[in-house]
């Protein structure tokens, strides 16, 4: 048990380091408190925590909590859980380190710089590496390492959340949201469904769940196929004949486990597209894009890779440093492999993947939860056309017709408000919207939290 004087000294030390404690701690919180990350700018003014939460006797998930700055009143701010997809990609590598987190990694892989559009300026952000086997999250049992799938991932994430709230009781009853992108288009609504169902009949649930937001999200395999192939063709990425071949060869069944004929057609499409960045078709790829082409598998041949392979290398350098792992309270069991932004094992051994999230959308829309779907319109992996086809399949009444939204007098994208769902596109953004258009993504997030329509020109 830490004495009062010891705690006073620790708080004093944290204040000197530029981090002010903002909540009543318990022993687990003291253990998880980050005092200073290697290469971190000084005087950041917000608290950080990271560590492990057990979800099963053999599985533990790694988290990183970044609170809102003390000057912005973290106790009055909501809690947002962020999930990246893959399957098998780390929320620490992508969401935290190159998208919405407070720090981005410099090319030297040693130092960090502040992100002026960090989402923790508006909310307390909780990043989770999920499932076990991704990033610093681990599984001790061999059987757990080769049985990945949607159902267990969602259940483990819910168990994590319940146990995490016991460690951080000050967040109980706080407004809570879930957000994510890409294959988290499965994780987010699946976890939202579990939270909603567990909360039924409880007057004041501990998890005060308000809604969710997903970006460039894998949603419905049939409409994702149709919308993706159409995007490739209409944006001049494939020939007429290949477009017709894709429409014929791909049986529009499972996108994660396609037929042999479909995979052959996809390979032809990849060859025709050439050396472009499919995550952002109008920007230059890194000078070595070989990693983008490894492991062609299914409807999402690049899903296991990040937008910028060069940025991914910065994460690989930084999070493999022993002093970084120590500061994060990570790799405490001595994981017998190097940290990677995306786990090939998780992606290659994925089992269950439902064909559609649309039934879950219907259930949660009927529950009057707040649901926003956004899409960067230069992404060829899960393009805006796929998202629009999926939303159209919900057959929702329109409240506000398609309109442009603005940022400083310039069109930031377009939006349409349906009964129970808001769609927002972000102009010129690729697969990871906050990476390509950080300011516009920040405006989007603020509008979501306030549940207000995107800003008009006036």
- Per-residue pLDDT of the chain (458 residues), as tens digits, is 333 333 333 333 333 333 434 444 578 898 999 999 999 998 899 999 999 999 987 899 999 999 999 999 999 999 999 999 989 999 999 999 999 999 999 989 999 999 999 999 999 999 999 999 999 999 887 666 667 888 889 999 999 999 999 999 999 999 999 999 999 999 999 999 999 999 999 999 999 999 999 999 999 999 999 999 999 999 999 999 999 999 999 876 666 667 888 989 999 999 999 998 899 999 877 765 434 333 333 333 333 333 455 777 889 999 999 999 999 999 998 888 899 999 888 878 888 888 999 999 999 999 999 999 999 999 999 999 999 999 999 999 999 999 999 999 999 999 999 999 999 999 999 999 999 999 999 999 999 999 999 998 76
pLDDT of 353 reads 85
Phi, psi of 328 (to 5 degrees): -90, -5
Give every CB contact of residue 423 below 8 A, 6+ residues apart in sequence: 372, 373, 374, 375, 387, 388, 391, 415, 416, 417
As a whole number of angstroms, the distance between CA 233 and CA 225 comes to: 12
Closest to 85 in 3D by CA, of 151, 183, 214, 216: 183
Rounded-to-integer distance, Cα 29 and Cα 34, Å: 10
Domain ranges in the chain?
A: 221-310
- Report strand pairing: 112-114 vs 103-105: antiparallel
Specify whether the CB–CB gap between 83 and 178 falls below 8 A: yes
Residues that are catalytic = 182, 379, 431
Sign for the CA dihedral angle at 284, 287, 290, 291 comes to negative
Token pair 């708080």 is found at: 11
pLDDT at residue 21, rounded to an integer: 41
Cβ–Cβ contacts within 10 Å for residue 152, how many?
18
DSSP string, 418-446: ETTEEEEEETT--SSHHHH-HHHHHHHHH
Q: Tell me, yes or no, if the pTM score tops 0.85.
A: yes
DSSP-derived letter for residue 40 is: P
């Amino acid at each position: 048990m830490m004495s009062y004087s010891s705690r006073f000294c620790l708080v004093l030390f944290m204040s000197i380091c530029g981090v002010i404690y903002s909540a009543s701690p318990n022993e687990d919180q003291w253990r998880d408190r980050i005092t200073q990350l290697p290469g971190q700018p000084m005087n950041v003014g917000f608290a950080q925590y990271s560590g492990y939460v057990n979800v099963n006797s053999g599985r533990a998930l790694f988290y990183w909590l970044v609170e809102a700055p003390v000057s912005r009143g973290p106790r009055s701010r909501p809690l947002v859980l962020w999930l990246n997809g893959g399957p098998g990609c780390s929320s620490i590598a992508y969401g935290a380190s190159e998208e919405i987190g407070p720090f981005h990694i410099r090319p030297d892989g040693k130092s960090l710089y502040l992100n002026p559009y960090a989402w923790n300026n508006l909310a307390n952000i909780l990043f989770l590496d999920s499932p076990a086997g991704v990033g610093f999250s681990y599984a001790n049992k061999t059987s757990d390492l080769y049985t990945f799938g949607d159902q267990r991932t969602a259940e483990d994430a819910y168990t994590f959340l319940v146990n995490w709230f016991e460690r951080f009781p000050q967040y109980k009853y706080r407004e809570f949201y879930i957000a994510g992108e890409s294959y988290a288009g499965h994780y987010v609504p699946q976890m939202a469904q579990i939270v909603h169902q567990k909360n039924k009949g409880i007057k004041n649930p501990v998890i005060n769940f308000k809604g969710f937001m997903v970006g460039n999200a894998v949603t419905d395999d049939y409409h994702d196929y149709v919308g993706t192939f159409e995007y490739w063709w209409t944006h001049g990425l494939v020939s007429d004949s290949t477009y017709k071949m894709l429409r014929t060869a791909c049986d529009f069944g499972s996108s994660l486990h396609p037929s042999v004929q479909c995979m052959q057609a996809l390979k032809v499409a990849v060859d025709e597209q050439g050396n472009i960045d499919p995550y952002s078709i109008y920007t230059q790829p890194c000078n070595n894009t070989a990693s983008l082409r490894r492991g062609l598998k299914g409807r999402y041949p690049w899903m296991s890779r990040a937008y910028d392979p060069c940025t991914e290398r910065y994460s690989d350098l930084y999070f493999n440093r022993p002093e970084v792992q120590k500061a994060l309270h990570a790799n405490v069991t001595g994981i017998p492999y190097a940290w990677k932004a995306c786990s090939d094992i998780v992606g290659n051994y994925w089992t269950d993947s439902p064909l559609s999230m649309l039934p879950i959308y219907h259930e949660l829309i009927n529950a009057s939860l707040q649901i926003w779907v956004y899409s960067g319109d230069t992404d060829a992996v899960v393009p805006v056309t796929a998202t629009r086809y999926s939303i159209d399949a919900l057959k929702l009444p329109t409240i506000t017709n398609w309109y442009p939204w603005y940022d400083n007098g310039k069109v930031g994208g377009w939006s349409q408000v349906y009964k129970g769902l808001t769609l927002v596109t972000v102009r010129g953004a690729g697969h990871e919207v906050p990476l390509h258009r950080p300011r516009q993504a920040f405006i989007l997030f603020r509008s979501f939290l306030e549940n207000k329509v995107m800003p008009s020109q006036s």
